[in-house]
């Protein structure tokens, strides 16, 4: 009985994880270093849409470690990343975003090591300048990296939800 209940609880969680907007769509990659055994080191470009701001899309480039460790998913990627976000449609700002209640909200997250290291993107809203700011950085459970990059999207026309 308990086993069936646990399975029923896990299925929706797995479905949510698989369709989560916090993951990017890989657009392409370039090799940066040849590895004799395993995958080459590369730079990967991923795209994602802001899950709470319709009309904004971001492109993230980041380093991906190759070799045997990279091939088997146990390598730790460097903290190098770059981001560019643009208006791709009519921007719709929810009250949560325009009121700054969701400042610092994570809009993208991806693991960059087997355990405890992630690259992520968080969003802020600068109401005075009517601008969305996207910050990408790498975190690690014990020793994060100060390397970061930002991209801004000035809102020239938007729909503000009430």
pLDDT > 60? residue 126: yes
pLDDT at res. 33: 84
Q: d(Cα 126, Cα 134) in Å, to the nearest integer?
A: 11
Give the pLDDT confidence of 42-55 residue by residue, as tens digits.
Answer: 889 999 999 999 99
Mean pLDDT of 30-36: 84
Helix or strand (DSSP H, E) at 125? strand 117-126
**CB distance 42 to 29 below 8 Å:** yes
Mean pLDDT of 78-105: 91
Mean pLDDT of 116-132: 91
What average pLDDT does the chain have?
81
Choose between 29 and 8: higher pLDDT: 29
Count helices and strands (H / E) in the chain.
3, 9
Q: d(Cα 29, Cα 36) in Å, to the nearest integer?
A: 19
Residue 20's pLDDT band, with cuts at 50, 70 and 90, is very low
Helix ranges restricted to H, 2-138: 2-18, 67-71, 95-98
pLDDT > 90? residue 149: yes
pLDDT > 80? residue 93: yes
Q: To the nearest whole percent, how much of the chain has pLDDT over 90? A: 42
Mean pLDDT of 32-38: 82
pLDDT at res. 13: 40
Residue 30's pLDDT band, with cuts at 50, 70 and 90, is very high
pLDDT at res. 12: 41
Q: d(Cα 107, Cα 135) in Å, to the nearest integer?
A: 10
């Amino acid at each position: 009985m308990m086993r069936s209940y646990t399975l029923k609880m896990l299925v929706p969680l797995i479905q949510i994880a698989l369709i989560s907007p916090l993951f990017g769509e890989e657009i392409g990659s370039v090799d940066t270093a040849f590895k004799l055994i395993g995958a080459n080191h590369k730079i990967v470009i991923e795209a994602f849409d802001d899950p709470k701001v319709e009309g904004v899309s971001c492109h993230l480039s980041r380093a991906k470690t190759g070799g045997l460790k990279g091939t088997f998913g146990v390598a730790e990627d460097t903290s190098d990343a770059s981001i560019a976000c643009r208006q791709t449609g009519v921007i719709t700002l929810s009250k949560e975003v325009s009121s700054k209640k969701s400042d610092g909200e994570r809009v993208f997250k991806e693991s960059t090591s087997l355990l405890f290291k992630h690259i992520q993107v968080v969003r802020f809203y600068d109401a005075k300048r009517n601008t969305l700011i996207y910050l990408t950085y790498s975190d690690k459970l014990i020793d994060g990296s100060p390397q970061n990059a930002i991209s801004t999207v000035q809102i020239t026309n938007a729909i503000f939800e009430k």
